[in-house]
Structure 1
Amino acid sequence: MRLDEYAAHDGISLASLLAKGKVTPRELGRCVEQAVAAVNPALNAVIELYPDALESLPERASATPFGGIPTLTKDFPVEAGRPAEFGSRLAQGFSAGHDAVYWTRLRKGGLVNAGRTASSEFGVPATTESPLYGATRNPWNPERGVAGSSGGAAAAVAAGIVPFAQGSDGGGSIRNPAAFCGLIGLKPSRGRVTGAPNANAPLLGLATAFMLTRSVRDTAVLLDLCHGPDAGDGYEIAAPAGTYRDAMQRPPRGLRIALCTKSWSGVQLDPEVAAATRSAAERFAALGHHVDEASPDFDYPAFLHAQKVIWAADAAAHMPAMARYMNRSLEEALGTSVYALYRWGLCISGAQLIDALAVYDRVTRQVGRFLAGYDLLLTPTSTILPEPIGTFDPNRAGIDADGVFDDLAPKETFTALFNATGQPAISLPLGRSWDGLPIGIQLVARFGREDLLLAAARQMEEELESAPGIWGQGRPAIHAGNF
């Protein structure tokens, strides 16, 4: 298979070719290697390929939904024995001690972990520019960033290295990189993808893992493969009525959609982002849905303070263990952003943490009541376009915990809320700037309604898929299909 042919397919399309014997997993592995060689020097998206995984790819597809397709995982613990350095000098040389349960399900579904992608340090900073591996660049314009923290995954998928890649989202870390790179990025409902064998949902319920993709059908099938609780989970979300692949094929009718372009944080919304969001609302209206301007009413400053407390407490709880395990000094090994968050976390009391969780409970009720009146909420994903590399330097001297969140605000204004409240949210590639940069639009559904998100996303995708590229965007400047 030629590289330009390979890079034109999503995962389901590649799986069909595998099932028909028109290509082999081994050939796909060679395409991944060629794609990395062609585009990664300009992007710095892929940290490492695993020769043993690539060499063990068979000449015959497995009888699984994806048949043996190689993919990439984030630089976090995902697969036992694989490096998991969190983009940090503190964790350099660390490896995952066990498989994530959701990953074992994806692996049984035919995915092969062929390598790892760059992340912001411990998933904290607003940009994938880590002290350990440097800056990851945007395939649409390599002078621009890819957001964080799953930035390497987004760049790799957008550039055609793999059809989809694993990421995680604790405040927008799947959705913002997807928005910046012109991809589909779903953050499932809390508990939909188990955090086992560790936390039910990591980061006190804020974080979840999933995949960044090029097509809604890949997103649906991947979720079909990996959703569901594991034995011992503290709570279990209700299972979907059927498969997500079936759900996405049922076009929704007459949805009540709330349109919100009001910046909850007060960060100014880029005019092109605002225009793209309104354009997306008009497209949904043209499909027969009912769109009204409305916003959930909640105390954003209180919500933001609670987020700071929870993130900082988590850093204070976990960083010392990594330092001891790796026999390194936190002050010397951590970048300044993560170290500032850790230091602030040391001063947080148990009472403050309980108060922060109570704020999240209150906000969750408020957002839940708002969404009871609507089927979907439509917002921008990020308030800004992909920024020039270095704009939010996470390793600059003098940054404090407030500065870390000031950096995050342009990207988390519309995304972090739903990590707190647990609703599913998806970024869709529905906009472009005047100079060709992707603009992501976020859809949010009621808790547990990934089926509706995927159906609405697929309905929009059908309107756009006849043109070249992902959702008619064409190809990025740096793309494996150009080689």
Structure 2
Amino acid sequence: MRLDEYAVHDGTGLACLLTKGEVSPKELGRCVEQAVAAVNPALNAVIELYPDALETLPEVASATPFGGIATLTKDFPIEAGRPAEFGSRLAQGFRAGHDAVYWTRLRTGGLNNIGRTSSSEFGVPAATESPLYGATRNPWNPQRGVAGSSGGAAAAVAAGIVPFAQGSDGGGSIRNPAAFCGLIGLKPSRGRVTGAPNGNAPLLGLATAFMLTRSVRDTATLLDLCHGPDAGDGYEIAPPVGTYLDAIKHRPHGLRIALCTRSWSGVQIDPEVLAATRSAAERFASLGHHVEEASPDFDYPAFLQAQKVIWAADAAAHMPAMARHMNRSVEEALGTSVYALYRWGLAISGAQLIEALAVYDRVTRQVGRFLAGNDLLLTPTSAMLPEPIGTFNPNRAGIDVEGVFNDLAPKETFTALFNATGQPAISLPVGRSRDGLPIGIQLVARFGREDLLLATARQIEEDVESGPGVWGQGRPVIHAGNF
């Protein structure tokens, strides 16, 4: 298979070719190798490929939904024995001790992990410019960033290296890179994708793992493969009525969609982002949905303070253990942003943490009541367009906790809330700036309603997919299909 032929397919398309015997998993692995060689020097998205994984790719497709497709995982602990360095000098050389349960399900469904992608340090900064591996660049304009923390995954998928890639989201870390790179990025409901064997959901319930994709059908199939609890989980989310792949075959009618373009943080929304969001609202209205401007009412400063406490307490709890394991100094090995968060976390009391969780509970109730009166909430994903590399340098001297969260604000104004409240949220690639940069919009549904999110996303996808590229956007400047 030629590289330009490979790069136009989503995962479902490649799986069809595998089923027909027109290509083999090993041949797809060679395509990934060629794509990395062609575009990664300009992007710095893929940290490494695993020679042993490439060598053992089969010559015959497996009888699974994805048949043996090669893909990439984030620089976090996902697959037993693989490097998981969190983009940090502190964790350099660390390896995952066990498989994530959801990843074993994806592997059973036909995915082969053949390498890892870059991340911001420990997933904290919203810019994938890590002290260990440097800056990852945007395929649409290599002078621009890819947000964070799943930035390498987003760049790799957008550039045609793989049809989809694994990421994780604790405040917008799947959705913002998807928006910056013109992809689909779903953050499932809390508990939909288990965090086992460690716990239901990392970061005190804020974080979840999933995939960045180019098509709604891939998103639906991947969620079908990996959702559901693991034995020993402390709680279990209600399962979907049917499959997500079946759900996207149904066209929603007359949905009540709340449009929110009020910046909860006060950060100014870029006019082009605002225009793209309003354009998306008009598209929903043209499809027969009822769109009205409305916003959930909650105390954003209190919510933000609670987020700072929870993130910092988590850093204070986990960084010393990593330092001991790797026999390194936290002070010497951490980048300045993560170190500032860690140091601030050392002074947090148990009472402060309990108070922060209580704030989250109140906000969750408020957002839940708002969504009880609306089927979906429509917002921008990020308040800004992809910024020039270095704009939010996470490793600059003198940054404190306030600076860390000020850097995050333009990207997390609309996303982090739903990590706190647990509702599913998806970023969709609906717009382009005058300079050709992708713009994403976010849809949020009631808790557990990924089926409605995906069905609505598919409804929009059908309206735009006749053009070239993902959702008719065309092809990025740096793309494997150009070689």
TM score, norm. by length of structure 2: 1.00
The aligned counterpart of 2:263 is 263
* Residue matched to 1:124: 124
Residue 199 of structure 1: how far off its partner (Å): 1.6
Measure, in 1, the Cα distance between the counterparts of 2:353 and 2:170.
Answer: 17
Unaligned runs of 5+ residues in structure 1 are none
- Is 1:106 equivalent to 2:106 in the alignment? yes
What secondary structure is seen at the aligned counterpart in 1 of 2:203? coil
In the alignment, the residues of structure 2 paired with residue 108 and residue 126 of structure 1 have an alpha-carbon distance, to the nearest angstrom, of 32
In 2, the alpha carbon distance for the partners of 1:173 and 1:162 equals 19
| C-alpha displacement of 1:380 | 0.1
AA partner of residue 340 (structure 2) = A
- Residue 47 of structure 1 aligns to a residue whose secondary structure is strand
Residues 1:134 and 2:101 are matched in the alignment: no
The alpha carbon displacement at 1:99 in A equals: 0.0
String of CA shifts for 1:231-273, please: whole Å, max 9, x gaps: 0001000000000000011000000000000000000000000
Partner of 1:445: 445
**Within 5 Å, which residues of 2 pair with 1:307-318?**
307-318=307-318
Partner of residue 349, structure 1? 349
Quick check: 1:408 aligned with 2:399? no
Deviation for aligned residue 1:126: 1.3
1:19 corresponds to which residue? 19
**Hey, what does 1:151 align to over in structure 2?**
151
Distance of 1:237 and 1:56 partners within structure 2? 36
1:32 — aligned with what? 32
Paired position in structure 2 for 1:64: 64
Output the amino acid matched with 1:16.
C
- Taking only the aligned residue pairs, the percentage that are identical comes to 89
Q: CA deviation at 1:131?
A: 0.1
Look up the match of 1:249.
249
Q: Hey, what's the Cα distance between the residues in 2 that align with 1:120 and 1:181?
A: 16
Whole-angstrom distance in 2 between the partners of 1:197 and 1:300: 33
Cα distance, 1:101 vs structure 2? 0.1
Q: Deviations over 1:68-113 (max 9, x none)?
A: 0000000000000000000000000000000000000000000000
Deviations 1:361-391 (A, max 9, x none): 0000000000000000000000000000000
Q: Could you tell me which residue of structure 2 aligns to residue 364 of structure 1?
A: 364
Q: Quote the residue 1:41 is aligned against.
A: 41
Moved over 4 A (4+): none
Code of the residue aligned with 2:171 in structure 1: it is G
Write the mapping of 1:416-455 to structure 2, written as runs, cut at 5 A: 416-455=416-455
Counterpart secondary structure, 1:237 = coil
Aligned to 1:188: 188
TM-score, structure 1 as length reference: 1.00
Q: How does 1:293-312 map to 2 (within 5 A)?
A: 293-312=293-312
Q: Which residue of 1 aligns with 2:77?
A: 77
For 2:27 and 2:101, how far apart are their aligned partners in 1? 28
In structure 1, distance between residues paired with 2:474 and 2:110: 28
Q: Which residue of 2 aligns with 1:482?
A: 482
SS at match of 1:276: helix
CA distance in 2, matches of 1:357, 1:406: 22
User: Structure 2 CA distance, aligned partners of 1:260 and 1:200?
Assistant: 30
Aligned to 2:280: 280
- AA paired with 1:379? T
In 2, distance between residues paired with 1:202 and 1:411?
Answer: 21
C-alpha distance in structure 2 between counterparts of 1:17 and 1:213, whole Å: 18
Q: Tell me if 1:162 matches 2:162.
A: yes
Structure 1: how far apart are the matches of 2:303 and 2:199? Answer: 23
Separation of aligned partners in 1, 2:440 and 2:250: 23
Question: Matched residue of 1:229: which SS?
Answer: coil
Paired residue secondary structure (1:154): helix
Where structure 2 has 5 or more consecutive residues not aligned to the other structure, the ranges are: none
Rounded to whole Å, the distance in 2 between the matches of 1:200 and 1:419 is: 14
Residue of structure 2 in register with 1:229 after alignment: 229
Residue in structure 2 matched with residue 206 of structure 1 by the alignment: 206
Secondary structure (helix, strand or coil) at the match of 2:106 reads: helix
Cα deviation for residue 59 of structure 1 reads 0.7
Corresponding letter in the other structure for 1:437: L
SS in 2 for 1:220: helix
For 1:431 and 1:351, the matched residues in 2 are separated by 44
Q: CA–CA distance in 2 between the matches of 1:269 and 1:429?
A: 17
Residue 368 of structure 1 aligns with an amino acid whose one-letter code is G
AA aligned to 1:64 is T
Q: Report how many aligned residue pairs link the two structures.
A: 483
Alpha-carbon displacement from aligned partner over 1:334-366 (angstroms, at most 9, x marks no partner): 000000000000000000000000000000000
Question: Whole-Å Cα distance in 2 between the matches of residues 324 and 199 of structure 1?
Answer: 22
- For residues 234 and 391 of structure 1, the distance between their equivalents in structure 2, rounded to whole angstroms, comes to 41
CA distance in 2, matches of 1:280, 1:63: 39
Question: Equivalent residue for 1:380?
Answer: 380
SS in 1 for 2:125: coil
**Secondary structure at 1:283 match in 2:** helix
Distance in structure 1 (CA, Å) of the matches to 2:104 and 2:384:
36
Mapped to 2, the partners of 1:142 and 1:58 lie a distance apart of 35
Residue identity opposite 2:170 in structure 1: G
SS state of the match for residue 204, structure 1?
helix
Q: Which residue of 2 aligns with 1:172?
A: 172
